[in-house]
Structure formats: C-alpha cells, structure tokens
Amino acid sequence: MKKSKKGSARIKTIDAFQVFDSRGNPTLEAEVCLENGVIGRAIVPSGASTGQFEALELRDGNPLRFNGKSVYRAVENVKQYIAPALKGHIVEEQEKLDQLMCELDGTSNKQHLGANAILGVSMAIARAKANHRNIPLFVSLTEGAGNLLPLPEIQIIGGGVHSGGRIDIQDFMIICTGAGSYNECMEMTFNVYHTCGELLKKSGRLAGVADEGGYWPDFEKNEDVFDTLLEAIERAGYQPGQDIHLSLDIAAAEFYEDGRYHLRLEGKSLTSDQFYQLIADWCRTYPIISIEDPFGESDTSNWAKFTAEFGHSVQIVGDDLFTTDVERVKIGYSSQLANSVLIKPNQIGTVSETLACLRQTKKFGWNPVVSARSGETEDAFIAHLAVAANAGQLKVGSFSRSERIVKWNEIIRIARYLNSEARFKGGSILPIGVQ
C-alpha cells in the first residue's frame, strides 16, 4: 500500500452547490479545501421510500422552482453556518467535526441545517483527509483495517415506488452465493440480468427500466415475478437455491396503513397475520436467503415472530426499522426484531455516525448491508465504506445505469489496489442455509 503523508492539514474553505441525482432531481455537492490546496468533494444521494425515523433531507418546498425539490437552503446552510464553524479545524478529526455539525444543528433529526447539508460536508471531509494523505478513501476511513470485498446484492426487477407501483414488492434481487470471487459475482449477474431482459421482452412484459436500473415489468401478480426470475437463473445456466439465491426488499411500510397491508397490484387488503403468512409462504416456497423490511416498522410483533421462525435460514434486514441509527439498532437487538441492518449514510447524516452503526451491528453479531439510495449519483463513497468497514455486503441497485455501475466498478479498482490482501467470503457470510 502507498504510505500516507505525515502531518495534519487544516480546513481553509467549505463550499456547496446544487447538482442533480439519477432521477434528475436536485441534490447537494459539498467541497472542502484545505490550507495546503488539497480538495475533497462529495455528492449526497436521495431516497424515494424513506423511513419515518430518517434524518431530514432539507428541500426548499417552493413549487415554482424544481417542483419544490431544490436544495438552495441546504446549500446556504453550508456556506453560512457550517463553513465558518469548521474553518481552521484539522481535517483528520472526522468524529470531532461531525459532532460539531450535529451540535450546530441542535436537533435529533438534523432538521435545522438538513441532513443533506451535514452529510455532504462530512463525506467531503473524509475525502479531503484521504486525498491529503495520498491514500484511497477506504484505507483512510478505518486506518487500513478494511480488506473484505463485499458480496453484491443486485436488483434484477424493480417495483414499488421505484417503478410507479407496477408491482408491490420494491426489489427482486439475486445474491450469487455460489460465487468464489467478486468478479465471478459480476459475471453471474451479467448472465442472469440479460437473460431476464430477454425473457421479459419475448413475453411482452417489459415496460422499461426502474429507478435503480432493474427491469420495470408488467405482471398481474407478485408471484409471477418469482417464476420469471427463477427461469432466468436456470436459463443462464445456474441452479436456484445453490448457485444463486433470491433477495427481496418488501419495503412494506409503503403499503402498510391502519394495521393492514394493501397490495394494490392484486387489489388485496391483508391483515397483519395474513400478510405474515404470505411472506412466510414465499420463504418456504422460493430460495429466498435475504429479505428486507418484510413488515412495517411499527408492526414489531411480526418482526419478532418472523425472526424467531426464519432467522436461522434467512437474513432479515431492517431498513426503515433502524434507519442506520445506533440506538434503534440496540432496541431491535434487545427484542430480536431482525438479524441484519441496512446501512445508508444519508439516513443518519454523518460519516462518523454511519461507522458507529456499522461497528455496533457487527458487535451484535448481525450482518451490515451497505446500501445506495434510489436517487443516486456518480459518487462511489459507499463502495469504499463497505470495504473500509469489512461490511461484507453491498446493495446499490441493478446491473445497469452508470450511477449503479460506478459502485460495482469501484470495488474492482479497490480489489486491484488490495491485490493479494483482498478477502472475499461470498455466501458464507449469510445464514447457515447456504454454507
């Protein structure tokens, strides 16, 4: 590895400006310039299905400008409040700087300055620190402790709010549990993704590409997607449940209302118990190895029951349930509501808090899954985060669209940098059923 530069560097200026995400919506880019001329930049992503406990993404709300989605207030908060407060501070002190921004905001959900303003600066500080030391970001983030290449979780068919509600379930994904390397995962995914596209075209069910690059399908039932995906895996030359397993992001909070689950595709309204049986039947019928947000975040009795019944064989991931918040993860662990945590930096708002949640998740013996958002950017920060923290898994969407591929490609570059020091655990990090 390259040797880092010695000595500290202080922050000279911090700037921010409005750019655009993968949906063409405004977002914030931050720029941190050090006294020695080194610069760090970062762009903040945005989610469509957001949990009620997430830190606040500050938007202007003026319908005459970008349909209310502009982020000029967040930009101004960086310039007017954050920049003067952090000027002159040592860039290496990430945790201290993040804490200063949190104190400057003064709210539990960062609603004053905006989580997008704070996170943009926090990520840019991390980049400036790495650039100052002349080392890769993933090395700088955890002082060289990370060398585990993540097992990809890749969307093949997109649904929910990512595809205009064409199907109720948000993500139908694959995990290449039989792959022996990261590169083999990429090849297997390539084969399945393009085979699935051909099947959808021939059947007349392809309606386009969803927000995260997965196919935007036209089905009459949610179960029909399973059949198509399993056929694609087999036609690509793999064995479902052996070489490749399925992974679902139910995003159940999007259709959980008044204690019932409303599946609009099929015109069904299910009680909590009925929906539990549906999800349980899917796990018994199909080779599902991971399932995210199977229930609404307030339906905790079902979370606990499901974990008790399936936690030994299925990775049960809390996203809206935990929102990358250490305290919420602690509560979830004490009640055994899941066995894994989705990690999204913009849910909590700083790099330090994100790393703290990753550490706490692993301390509990749970799996962290570093994740992108549906409104993504060309910034590959989370690829470095996944390796730096030895998270073991990465979820960034599908196998198309450059804002997705840039993350997958960055892992390839990181692997080249690590060379023989790179590790890959593959499917062995998942529940016992695939080992």
Q: Which residues are catalytic?
A: 212, 344
Distances in Å between the Cα of 327 and the Cα atoms of 132, 331, 360, 395 are: 33, 6, 10, 23
User: 209 and 405 in contact (C-beta within 8 Å)?
Assistant: no
- Amino acid occupying residue 249: D
Q: Give CA–CA dist 435/430, Å, rounded.
A: 8
Helix (H, G, I), strand (E, B) or coil at 224: helix
Starting at the edge strand that comes first in sequence, how are the strands of the sheet with 256-257 ordered? 256-257, 260-263, 268-271
Between CA 233 and CA 434 the distance in angstroms is: 17
Neighbours of 52 (CB within 10 A): 10
Q: Which residues contact 25 (CB under 8 A, 6 or more apart)?
A: 46, 66, 69, 375
User: Using N-to-C axis directions, what is the helix angle for 94-105 and 351-363, rounded to 10°?
Assistant: 110
Q: Which residues pair with 153 in a beta bridge?
A: 395
Spatial distance between the Cα atoms of 390 and 280, rounded to a whole number of angstroms = 31
Structure token digits, residue 266: 């099929």
CA 96 to each of CA 86, 100, 101, 141, 232: distance values in angstroms, whole numbers, following the listed order: 10, 6, 9, 14, 49
Alpha-carbon dihedral sign for residues 161, 162, 168, 171: negative
H helices of 311-420, where? 326-334, 345-348, 351-363, 381-388, 402-418
- Which tokens hold the place of 74? 């967040």
